[in-house]
Amino acid sequence: MQNFIFHTPTKVYFGKNEELKVGKIIKEYGAKKVLIHFGSKSAKESGLLERVENCLREENIEYVEFGGVKPNPELKLVRKGIELCIKENVDFILAVGGGSVIDSAKDIANGAANPEVDVWEFSKKKLSPEKSIRKGVILTLSAAGSEMSASCVITNEETGEKRGYNSVFNRVDFAIENPELTYSVSAYQTACGTVDIGMHTMERYFCAGEGTYVTDAVAEAVMKTVMKAGSDAIKNPKDYNARANMMWASSISHNDLTHVGKTLQLAVHQLEHELSGMYPEIAHGAGLAALWASWARFMYKADLNKFLQFATNVWNLDINFENPEETVLKAIKLQEDFYKSIGMPISLRELDVKEDDLETLAFNCSFKKGRELTGAKKIGCDEMLEIYRMAY
């Protein structure tokens, strides 16, 4: 097990009606004016936005609304949010939504606190935030895990680049998690969230690191739990326990717990970021589902023992010691079949990706042949292209 520092400062308020505490919670941070950041009109139509604003008014906290976040949050909206925060002297940002809203709020907070810097420099990892505006979350979608993560992923719609960066300033102060707020999430988005939560966990599971028994056991439990909870929530959208377990799994999957003692590398996420950067209409979870099995078939021989552990502990398969690769391939197929069972794609063709774009995807994902993704074996531009082609 490698050395590690585990620091997850986000305070979680979990359960029914916890969002009604938001005014009192924000008041504890001494906020005078809040930017309420949200996505589509559903936040208003559901009545959630009105409830939030009532809570702020009760505590005499001023606020300004700022909506319009799309899936794969865009840099141009972030820049507008930064301008608004500076103009209105905002000292707290409240994200009401899922991962896209939260990531947009994080970038706005970092940009508004460092106005002398072009915020895209953070995403390009040319610079790092030196301070940020305080922020909190009311979670309405179980998927990205951004409510407890140190990451922020933004799309530059002008260049088609989708880039993420980590920073201690990307940690939110609190996250309010009421599973009932996810009842209205569609079956498709619930399935996308199931994939994303599972993938955050699974990719960490296959990261380099030996002897991480506790870390692996937590990851295996999350992987199995989210598949059951996701399936149950798709069948019955108002299954509270299913939604609750999905929501908590989302937070656990991306708060660093499932990779302590390991070297972090999320190769499938990097491959998918390039995909949905070029095709912004592709939901992140759907892109991950379309790519994972091809990555696994490309990688398993270099990490056979870990894939066998995955086969036995997650899929309850008995190892064929005469042909262990057969066991691994069966587990990969079972995972792929699960994605199909919840309505997720298992190929890029299903997402209407053009075959002629595969070389560009690999070239861009490799940063013009300037980086390799690490793991059991390195993945450079040629290997990325092979995976994209396998997934097609």
326 pLDDT more than 90: yes
Residues 132 and 119: beta-carbon distance below 8 Å: no
Does the structure show a pLDDT above 90 at 351? yes
In whole angstroms, how far apart are CA 47 and each of 42, 43, 121? 8, 7, 37
Q: Which residue is it, tokens 């409240």? A: 94
One CATH from 3.30.43.10, 3.40.50.1970, 3.40.640.10, 2.40.30.10 for 11-181: 3.40.50.1970
Residue bearing the bigger pLDDT, 373 or 374: 373
Mean pLDDT of 303-325: 98
Average pLDDT rounded to a whole number, residues 151-174:
96
Question: Is the pLDDT confidence value at 309 over 90?
Answer: yes
What is the dotted CATH code of the domain comprising 186-391? 1.20.1090.10
In the chain, what percentage of residues exceed pLDDT 90?
A: 97
Classify residue 200 by burial, with Cβ atoms within 10 Å: 0-12, 13-18, 19+. Answer: buried
**Helix 187-205 / helix 240-253 crossing angle, nearest 10 deg:** 40
The values of phi and psi at residue 233, to 5°, are -70, -30
The pLDDT tens digits of the residues spanning 31-49 come to 999 999 999 888 999 999 9
Cβ atoms 271, 387 nearer than 8 A: yes
Strand 174-177 relative to strand 11-14, pairing = parallel
Please, what is the average pLDDT of the chain?
97
Whether the predicted pLDDT of 92 surpasses 90: yes
Distance CA 180, CA 47 (A): 13
pTM score, two decimals? 0.94
Asked if residue 178 has pLDDT above 90, the reply is yes
Position 350 scores a pLDDT of: 98
Residue range 4-30: mean pLDDT, rounded: 97
What would the pLDDT profile of 119-141 be if each residue is shown by its tens digit?
999 999 999 999 999 999 999 99
What's the per-residue H, E or C state across the chain? CCCCCCCCCCEEEECCCHHHHHHHHHHCCCCCEEEEEECCCHHHHCCHHHHHHHHHHHCCCEEEEECCCCCCCEHHHHHHHHHHHHHHCCCEEEEEECHHHHHHHHHHHHHHHCCCCCCHHHHCCCCCCCCCCEEEEEECCCCCCCCCCCEEEEEECCCCEEEEEECHHHCCCEEEECHHHHCCCCHHHHHHHHHHHHHHHHHHHCCECCCCHHHHHHHHHHHHHHHHHHHHHHHCCCCHHHHHHHHHHHHHHCCCHHHCCCECCCHHHHHHHHHHHHCCCCCHHHHHHHHHHHHHHHHHHHHHHHHHHHHHHCCCCCCCCCCHHHHHHHHHHHHHHHHHHCCCCCCCHHHCCCHHHHHHHHHHHCCCCCCCECCCCCECHHHHHHHHHHHC
Task: Tell me how far apart the alpha carbons of residues 224 and 197 are, in angstroms, rounded to a whole number.
Answer: 11
Q: What pLDDT does 3 receive?
A: 94
Residue spans in the chain of domains classed CATH 3.40.50.1970? 11-181
Write down the pLDDT at residue 212.
96
For range 146-150, the mean pLDDT = 97
Task: Please report, as a single letter, which amino acid is at residue 270.
Answer: Q
Q: What is the pLDDT of residues 258-298, one digit of tens each?
A: 999 999 989 999 999 999 999 999 999 999 999 999 999 99
User: What is the mean predicted confidence (pLDDT) over 208-220?
Assistant: 95
CATH 1.20.1090.10 in the chain, residue ranges: 186-391
pLDDT of the residue at 42: 86
